[in-house]
Chains A and B, each alone.
Chain A
Amino acid sequence: MVSQQDDMVSQQEDFGANPNLLAAPIKSPVDKFQLLPAFLKVRGLVKQHIDSFNYFVNYGMKKIMEANALHKVTDTIYLRYINISVGEPYVAIDNIKLTPQFCRLSDRTYSADISVDIEYTDGKGQHPTRKTSVKIGRLPIMLRSCNCVLNGKDETELAKLGECPLDPGGYFVVKGTEKVILIQEQLSKNRILIDIDGKGRITASVTCSTHEVKSKTVFFMDKEKIYLQLNQFVKPIPIMVVMKAMGTESDQEVVQMVGRNPRYGDLLLPSIQECSSERIYSQEQALDYMDAKFNFFKSCSIQLFITSFSTLKEGRAKSILTDVFLAHVPVKEQNFRPKCIYAAVMLRRMLDAILNSDTFDDKDYVGNKRLELSGQLVSLLFEDLFKTMNTQAVQRMNYAMGQSNRSGALDFSRYIVTDIITLGLEKSISTGNWDLKRFRMHKKGVSQVLSRLSYIGALGHMTRISPQFEKTRKVSGPRALQPSQWGMLCPCDTPEGEACGLTKNLALMTHVTTDEEEGPLISLCYSLGVEDLAHLSAEEIYANDSYLVFFNGLILGKHTRPHTFANAMRRVRRSGKIGEFVGFRTFDDFLHDGLIEYLDVNEQNNALIALYEHEAGEIDRSEITHIEIEPLTLLGVVAGLIPYPHHNQSPRNTYQCAMGKQAMGNIAFNQLSRADTLLYLLVYAQRPLLTTKTIELVGYDKLGAGQNATVAVMSYSGYDIEDAIVMNKSSLDRGFGRCIAMKKQTVVRENYGGKVSDIIVAPQRDKDGALIRKNMQILGADGIAEPGQIVRNNDMLVNKKSPLNVDKDLKTRTYKDTPAFFKGVEGETTVIDRVLIYTDNNEKMPIKFIIRHVRRPELGDKFSSRHGQKGVCGTIVNQEDFPFSERGICPDLIMNPHGFPSRMTIGKMIELLGGKAGVSWGRFHYGSAFGEPSGNACKVDDISNALIQKGFSYSGKDFLYSGILGTPLQAYIFMGPIYYQKLKHMVLDKMHARAKGPRVMLTRQPTEGRSRDGGLRLGEMERDCLIAYGASMLIFERLMLSSDPYQVQVCQKCGLLGYYNQKLKKSFCSMCKDGENMATMKLPYACKLLFQELQSMNVVPRLKLTEA
C-alpha cells in the first residue's frame, strides 16, 4: 500500500532524486549551509505558531462562520452571517493603535476586533436588513502574525514600537502577561492503528475527526471473534452484524473485501458463525439488533450533531453508523459502501497483524502523531464561543418576542453579546484551561506564561511540545527516544524527572503545516490514474497488482502502478504546483525549483538520506534520494548552544538544555523598559568565543547569557570539592558574573466608583520641616517614591490615603492612611529603577515600582558551563593567590578536574582548546553539532596547530606558577576560556535562618518556609536519629519547648481539660463543675488542639495523670 499522507511535521531536505541531478548541483557541502540562514529568514524561528494563527484568522474563522452561518428563531426570523474579519489591534476607547509593549506595561490585552457582516429580519420576519462591520468581540492577536502591528516591520520601526527585533513573536499578550499556547502532541486522527489493548486483545482503532464529529471506532478480537466497540452501544457488536447493517449482507462479499487469501477467511470464520447463530441475515435484522444495544445516555451529547435521523427511534443504529462510526468516511445518499470498504481494510490490517506480528503499529512513532498548534486551539475556542453567542442571541430574541409590551421593531443584532467571545478567549488564554463542553475537551495548562528568564528560555518555550499523556504515568515507551524523531524533534531537549521524554522540543528546521485544501488534490489523484473504488467490485480491490491510495485517512481508490503514481505526485510537488506539504514539499526559489523539499516522517521511510554528498561512497549513489541540509539542524534551539555536543555524553546535553534556560544574560533589546515581575540580567554578558552556527542563527551572539571565563582545570584549596568552583576575587571586582535583579511591586490606587478614589498626598512634615515618619525619605513631592532612590525594607513607596466614607462633599470626606511599603530583605540596598503610572480599564491607577538590585557573585552562587556541568562558587580567592602562567595570565576560575572522568564532557575540553586558540588568533571558532565534515566545527587537530603557532602546548596545558609559593606547579595545567553561565539560583534569594519568629495561628507552631520567616523543621527522620541516640531532652526541647509549649489544667477526676480562672486564681473543671482535683501540666498546643477537635467530633480523650 502506498499511502499518501496528510500534513504534519516536515523537514526540509536537499534533493537529488535522479542520478542526473545528483551529478550536477551542490557545489560543496559547506555551500548548502548558506541555505540555512536564508531559510530562517524566510521562516523565522516560530513560524509554525504564526502560520497556524494566520491560517485561523484568514481561513479558519471563515469556515467556522460558514458552518454556523444561519440562525433561525422561526422560519422567517433569522440571523445570517455573511462575512467575518479581524482588524488591527487598537485601544477600545481612544482608537489608538495598540502596541504589544504598551499592553505589557499597562496590563492590557493585545487584541483586535472581530467584525462580521450580517443579515437579519425584524421581529415580524420582515425587512431583511444588512449590517456591515458589526463587532462581535475581540480576539487576542498573536505577535508578528498578519494582524499584528509588528508584521513586516524592520529593525528601526520595531525599535520605535519598543519591540526587540530578535523577539520571535508567536505568543499573546493577555492582561499584560505574555502567554504562549504550547504545541500539543496528539495521536494522528483518521489513521488505523493496530495495537494490543490492556486485556491483551488485538485492536484496530481509528480516531475520527471531522468538522462536526469526533469519535473513536475500535475493532477488537475477543476469543477469535471480532467485535466493534463504540461508546454509543452498551455492548460490543459482532463485526459481521455491523457489515450487514451497512448493507453488505453476503458473507462472501465481506471476505472478498478483506482479501482472497484463505487465511483471512479462516480467521473470519468464528465471527461469521457468531453472526449466523444470532440469526441475523439481513440488513433489517442487523439494524434491529444494534438498536437494542443502543446506549441512550452516552449518546445524548452526540445527539446534538445528529440531525437527519435522530428523531426516529428505530433509525438510531443507522444514524450512528452514518454519523459516528468511522465518522471521517462520508456517507453520500445512504451509500455505505465506502464505509464497508474502510471497515474491511481495518479488518484486513488486524488479521495481518495476527498473521505477522511485525505489522503492529507503534503508537510512539512520530509519523503517527500530529501536532496541534495555537491557531487550531484558538479556533476550537472560538468555535465554541461563537456557537454559544449565537445560541444566546437566538434565545434572547425568542424571549424578546415573547414579551408583550415591546415597542418598535426588534433588532436581532442587538442581541449579540460581544462579551462572550472577548471574555471567553481572554479567560482561556490567561488561565490555560481549555474547557469546551461542546467538544468534550478539558485541558489544563494549554497556555503558559512565556518564560523570560533568558532569551534562549523564551525561544525554547516557543518550541516546546506538550505531551499527550499525563506525566504521572510510569511508562517507558513514549518517553524513549524514537529514531523517527530524527530531524523533527530535538533528541536532547527534554526535562528531567517526571516529564522526561514526554515534553519535547522541535528541532531547528522543523516545519509544522496547516491544513491544505483537499478538493483539488483529490481530483489530481484521480487524474493521475487512481481508480475510484465505487466502480470496483469487492473482488477487484485486492487484485494482485493493485494498491490502495489513502488520502488524509480516506481511501481514494486503487492504483496499479504505485511507484509511478508516487513519483508523479512528487514531480508535481517539486514543480511547486501543489502545496509543499503534501506529505513532502519544497521553499521559495529553491523550493519552487524543487531543489529542496520538506519531508514528512512517513515519507522519510521511503527515502535514503545522506548527510553529505561525499558520504555516499559506501552506498550506491543513485539510491540516495536526498541530502540533509545540515546535520546540526536535527538539534533544537536550546541544544544548539552547546559547542561540540556530539562529543559529550548525551545526558550532559540534556542537562545543559535545562540549564541554558536558567542562565542570566540579556533578555531582549528592550529589557530595560520591560516591567516583568522578576528579571535577571547579566551586566557584562558576552558572546561565546566558541560559537556554533545555531548561535548565530538564533541571535544568541547578540543576546548572550554568560561570559568567557579563563578556566584552569586543577584542584585548589579544597573548597572545590563536589563541583564547586574557586573564583578569582579580582575578576569579580572587575565585573565577572555581576548581575542585576529587577523585581516589580505594584501599588494600586483604588477607585470606588462615583469619583471616589484613594488619594496620594505629599509626605507630611512637622513644623520644623522634618518628615513625620522616617521611612518617608524616598518619597517625592507627589507622595510617590522617586526613581534612583535607594530603598530599604519598610520604606514607604506611596503615601496613600483611603476614603472612610463616600461623601460627595469633599470637606466631609474623611480619609485614613493606607500607605504602601517596600517589602525587601533586611540589610539589602536596592534602588528604585523606574516608576510606572497608568490607568487601567476600571479607572484604577496602578503604580508599578521596578526595584533593582545589583549583585556580585558570592559564595554559593550557581554557575555552569555549556556542558551540563554546574557548580557553586566554593570560595573566592584573591588574585595574588591564584596561579599565573608564563604570560601573566591568571584564571578567572578554577574547576576541579574530578568533574571530567565521570561526566565525559569531551565537548567542554574541546571548547577550552578552541576558545584558547580563538583568543590568541582574535577570531571565533565554531563547534556546531556534527560539523567537522562540513567545516562548521573546527577539528581538534587544526585547533592544536593554531595553539602551537602561538607558542602554546598543543594539549592546551600551560606551565603555571603557584601564586602562593611562587614556585612552578608540579603539573601542566589545562587552562583556557570556557563560556560560563550564571544561573538564577543565588544564595541571596535562598539563605535563611531564624532564632525566633512568627507562628501559625492555628497550631501556634513556627511557620514554614523562607518567605514567612519560618523555622527549620526537625522532621520525623531527624527525630528517629535523636531517639536512637537517646537524646531525650533534646527531643523534648525541639519538639515542645522550641515549638508550641502550652500549659493546661487537667481535671484528674474526669480527665478533661479545664481552665484557669484569673479572678479567683484557681483552676476549674467545667465538666465536673468544681475546682477540686485540678492539675497543671505542659503539653504541645497542637496536642491540646487535637483533644478539642476530637471532642467536637464526639470523641472524648481523657487524660490519666500519674505523679511525675
Chain B
Amino acid sequence: MSKGSFTSALNMPDVPMGKLPDHLEVQRTRVVCKADAPIHTEGIQFSGAYAAVGVDNSNPLDKFKRDFKIDVIRLTKDEMEFDMIGIDAAIANAFRRILISEVPTMTIDKVFMVDNTSPIVDEVLAHRLGLIPLDADPRLFEYMSEHDVPNERNTIVYRLNVSCEKGSPRLTVKSDQLEWLPDGSKLHEVAPSYPGEQQKTYTSFSGSQLEVSRRALGVKHKDITIARLGPGQTIELEAHAVKGIGKVHAKWSPVATAWYRMLPEVILLKEIKGEEAKKLVKKCPVKVFDIEDLGNGEERAVVKSPRACTLCRECLRGESEEQIELRRVRDHFIFTIESASALPPEVLFKEAVEVLHEKCDRVISELS
C-alpha cells in the first residue's frame, strides 16, 4: 500500500454502501448454532449499530407494518401453530409470557366440602378440582375482589355428589360428574329451621346464570379422573369457580403451554457428494437432508426440509462439522399455542395481544 493513498478499513469497495457484508448480515439476522454452543444469540438492538457502513438497523413502524406477517400453519380446536415473521424476540416472548400467565380463565377456586370419605383428602381433592379446565368463557365474567359477594357475574357454581354403593365395584369419579348449578349455590350457610325456608346460601345470584352464558358451563374434558371411590365412600361438595390469571396460580393459565422456536436454517457450506452425502442423509433423524441426482451418476446432498430440524447437532458430529452450518432466523418465530381452556388458541392469542395493548396504553397514560 503506497503512502499517499490512505484507505479506510471501512472502505470496502466490494461491498456496496447500504448493505452489510455477509458475515455481519448473518450475525445480524441469524443465531448460529455451533457444535459446542450457539453464538450471536442476543442480536443487535442498537439502531445505529451499522451506521458506519450506512446500514440502518432500526425498525420503523412502516417497515414493520410492511414486513410483519403471520402465517397459520396448523389450527385445530386446541392447538395452533403459526409463523410470526418480522418481529423482535422480546415482543414474541411477551406474547408467550402473557399467554401463560396473564390471559384470564375461569377456574374452581373455592370448594365447600359437605362429605368426603374418599381416600383423596379434602385439600388434595380441592387442588385437583382446581386444575380441571372449565368450558366457561372468561370474557363473560368479572374478577371477584376480596369484598365482592359471589354473584352470577363472577362465580360459577358446580356440584359434585357421587357415592359408591356398598357392595358395588370401585367407582372412578370423572370430571363430567361435576354438575353446573346455574342458579348458584344450594348449600345453606346454616341449616334451615323449617323445610323450604329461604336461607342464605354461599352465593347471592340475582338470576339464573343461563342469561350470562348461552352455552352450558361444563368442563372442557369429560374424562379427567378426579378420584376413585371404594364401596361405601362418598364425595359431596360444591365448587365455586372464579376468574383469575396464571400468575396467581397455574390453574388459571389458559394454555397447557405456549412457546415458539426460531425458524431453522440449514446451510451446506460445501458441496457434499457421493457416499458422504448418503451418510449425511442417514444421520439426520428428522430427514432434513435429501439426495439430489446430478445426472452423470453423481449425487449430492441438499437441504430439503430445514424447518423440521430439531437441532440435535447430529449432522455436526464427526467430520462434517465444517461443512454444515445450523442457523436460526432471528425474526421468524414458529409459535405454538396449546389451549387448555374454553377459548380456542386463536382467540387466546388475540386476547394476549389485547392484554399487551392494554399494558401499553397504561404505560402511555401513566407517562403523559
- Which A residues are within 8 Å of any B CB, using their own CB? 672, 683, 729-730, 733-735, 738, 740, 788, 831, 833, 852, 854, 878-880, 884, 886-888, 890, 948-954, 959, 961, 963-972
Q: Mark B13-50, 1 if CB is under 8 A from A, else 0.
A: 00000000000000000010100111101110000000
- Quick one: which of B100, B123, B249, B314 contacts A953, CB cutoff 8 A? B314
| B36 proximity list for chain A (CB < 8 A) | 972
| A968 proximity list for chain B (CB < 8 A) | 31, 38, 41, 262, 328
In Å, the complex CA distance between A683 and B119 comes to 11
In Å, the complex CA distance between A852 and B116 comes to 15
Residue of A with least CB distance to B90: A966
Beyond the given pairs A831-B123, A963-B93, 13 more chain A to chain B contacts, judged by CB atoms under 8 angstroms and listed by A's residue number, are A729-B250, A733-B251, A831-B121, A833-B121, A880-B97, A948-B285, A951-B312, A952-B310, A959-B311, A964-B93, A966-B94, A970-B39, A970-B41
Which secondary structure dominates where chain B touches chain A? mixed
Judge whether A967 and B250 touch: CB under 8 Å: no
Judge whether B31 and A854 touch: CB under 8 Å: no
Residues 119-137 of B at the A interface (beta carbon under 8 Å): 119, 121-124, 127, 131
A-B pairs with lowest CB-CB distance, top 10: A966-B93, A733-B250, A951-B310, A730-B250, A888-B259, A966-B89, A854-B123, A880-B97, A968-B41, A886-B261
Judge whether A959 and B249 touch: CB under 8 Å: no
Judge whether A959 and B250 touch: CB under 8 Å: no
Any A CB within 8 A of the CB of B336: yes
In Å, the complex CA distance between A1053 and B40 comes to 87
- Residue contacts A-B, CB under 8 angstroms, 19 given: A735-B131, A740-B124, A852-B123, A854-B124, A879-B100, A886-B310, A887-B259, A888-B258, A949-B285, A951-B286, A952-B312, A954-B312, A959-B33, A961-B93, A966-B90, A966-B93, A969-B41, A971-B38, A972-B37
In Å, the complex CA distance between A740 and B127 comes to 13
| B312 proximity list for chain A (CB < 8 A) | 948, 951-954
| A970 proximity list for chain B (CB < 8 A) | 37-39, 41
| B317 proximity list for chain A (CB < 8 A) | 954
In Å, the complex CA distance between A853 and B100 comes to 30
Any A CB within 8 A of the CB of B313: yes
In Å, the complex CA distance between A879 and B113 comes to 31
User: How many inter-chain contacts with C-beta < 8 Å in the A-B complex?
Assistant: 118
Any A CB within 8 A of the CB of B101: yes
In Å, the complex CA distance between A735 and B286 comes to 34
- Shortest beta-carbon distance from B332 to chain A in Å: 13
Known interface pairs A948-B312, A959-B38; A967-B121 also in contact (CB < 8 Å): no
- Quick one: which of A788, A888, A890 contacts B336, CB cutoff 8 A? A888
In Å, the complex CA distance between A952 and B123 comes to 39
Known interface pairs A788-B113, A968-B328; A730-B253 also in contact (CB < 8 Å): yes
Q: Of A788, A886, A887, A971, which is in contact with the most chain B CB atoms at under 10 Å from its CB?
A: A886
Any A CB within 8 A of the CB of B303: no
Residue of A with least CB distance to B41: A968
In Å, the complex CA distance between A971 and B119 comes to 46
Residue of A with least CB distance to B101: A880
| A951 proximity list for chain B (CB < 8 A) | 285-286, 310, 312
| B39 proximity list for chain A (CB < 8 A) | 970
Any A CB within 8 A of the CB of B257: yes
Judge whether A734 and B257 touch: CB under 8 Å: no
Any A CB within 8 A of the CB of B227: no
- Shortest beta-carbon distance from B250 to chain A in Å: 4
Any A CB within 8 A of the CB of B243: no
Any A CB within 8 A of the CB of B268: no
Q: Of A730, A831, A965, A968, which is in contact with the most chain B CB atoms at under 10 Å from its CB?
A: A968
Judge whether A972 and B38 touch: CB under 8 Å: yes
- Quick one: which of B38, B43, B259, B314 contacts A884, CB cutoff 8 A? B259
In Å, the complex CA distance between A573 and B136 comes to 75
| A831 proximity list for chain B (CB < 8 A) | 121-123
Residue of A with least CB distance to B257: A888
Known interface pairs A854-B123, A880-B96, A884-B259; A967-B43 also in contact (CB < 8 Å): yes
Any A CB within 8 A of the CB of B92: yes
Known interface pairs A880-B100, A968-B38; A948-B314 also in contact (CB < 8 Å): yes
Judge whether B37 and A971 touch: CB under 8 Å: yes
- Shortest beta-carbon distance from B318 to chain A in Å: 11
Judge whether A961 and B131 touch: CB under 8 Å: no
Q: Mark B58-97, 1 if CB is under 8 A from A, else 0.
A: 0000000000000000000000000000000110111011
Interface range for B: 35 or more
Residue of B with least CB distance to A950: B285
Judge whether B257 and A740 touch: CB under 8 Å: no
In Å, the complex CA distance between A887 and B94 comes to 18
| B116 proximity list for chain A (CB < 8 A) | 788
Known interface pairs A948-B312, A949-B285, A968-B38; A878-B101 also in contact (CB < 8 Å): yes
In Å, the complex CA distance between A791 and B122 comes to 14
Q: Mark B298-315, 1 if CB is under 8 A from A, else 0.
A: 000000000000111110
Judge whether A965 and B127 touch: CB under 8 Å: no
- Shortest beta-carbon distance from B124 to chain A in Å: 5
| A740 proximity list for chain B (CB < 8 A) | 121, 123-124
Any A CB within 8 A of the CB of B186: no
Residue of A with least CB distance to B88: A966
Judge whether B328 and A963 touch: CB under 8 Å: no
| B42 proximity list for chain A (CB < 8 A) | 965, 967
In Å, the complex CA distance between A890 and B246 comes to 15
In Å, the complex CA distance between A36 and B167 comes to 39
| A886 proximity list for chain B (CB < 8 A) | 261, 310-311
- Shortest beta-carbon distance from A971 to chain B in Å: 5
Known interface pairs A854-B124, A972-B38; A965-B93 also in contact (CB < 8 Å): yes
Residue of B with least CB distance to A971: B37
- Shortest beta-carbon distance from B212 to chain A in Å: 28
- Shortest beta-carbon distance from A328 to chain B in Å: 57
| B119 proximity list for chain A (CB < 8 A) | 672
Residues 204-249 of B at the A interface (beta carbon under 8 Å): 246-247, 249
| B121 proximity list for chain A (CB < 8 A) | 740, 831, 833, 852, 854
Residue of B with least CB distance to A730: B250
| A954 proximity list for chain B (CB < 8 A) | 312, 314, 317
Residue of B with least CB distance to A853: B123
Q: Of B31, B42, B100, B328, which is in contact with the most chain A CB atoms at under 10 Å from its CB?
A: B100
In Å, the complex CA distance between A738 and B124 comes to 9
Residue of B with least CB distance to A729: B250
In Å, the complex CA distance between A729 and B259 comes to 17
Q: Of B121, B246, B258, which is in contact with the most chain A CB atoms at under 10 Å from its CB?
A: B121
| A972 proximity list for chain B (CB < 8 A) | 36-38, 313
Residue of B with least CB distance to A879: B100
| A952 proximity list for chain B (CB < 8 A) | 310, 312
In Å, the complex CA distance between A474 and B298 comes to 78
In Å, the complex CA distance between A683 and B262 comes to 38
Judge whether B100 and A788 touch: CB under 8 Å: no
| B96 proximity list for chain A (CB < 8 A) | 880, 966
| A890 proximity list for chain B (CB < 8 A) | 257, 259
| B93 proximity list for chain A (CB < 8 A) | 961, 963-966
| A959 proximity list for chain B (CB < 8 A) | 33, 38, 311
Q: Mark B335-348, 1 if CB is under 8 A from A, else 0.
A: 01010000000000
Judge whether A961 and B113 touch: CB under 8 Å: no
| B38 proximity list for chain A (CB < 8 A) | 959, 968-972
| B261 proximity list for chain A (CB < 8 A) | 886, 961
In Å, the complex CA distance between A880 and B113 comes to 33
In Å, the complex CA distance between A890 and B101 comes to 14
| B90 proximity list for chain A (CB < 8 A) | 965-966
In Å, the complex CA distance between A880 and B259 comes to 10
| B262 proximity list for chain A (CB < 8 A) | 968
In Å, the complex CA distance between A352 and B260 comes to 80
In Å, the complex CA distance between A179 and B94 comes to 59
In Å, the complex CA distance between A680 and B286 comes to 46
| A734 proximity list for chain B (CB < 8 A) | 131, 250-251
Residue of A with least CB distance to B252: A733
| A888 proximity list for chain B (CB < 8 A) | 257-259, 336, 338
| A969 proximity list for chain B (CB < 8 A) | 38, 41
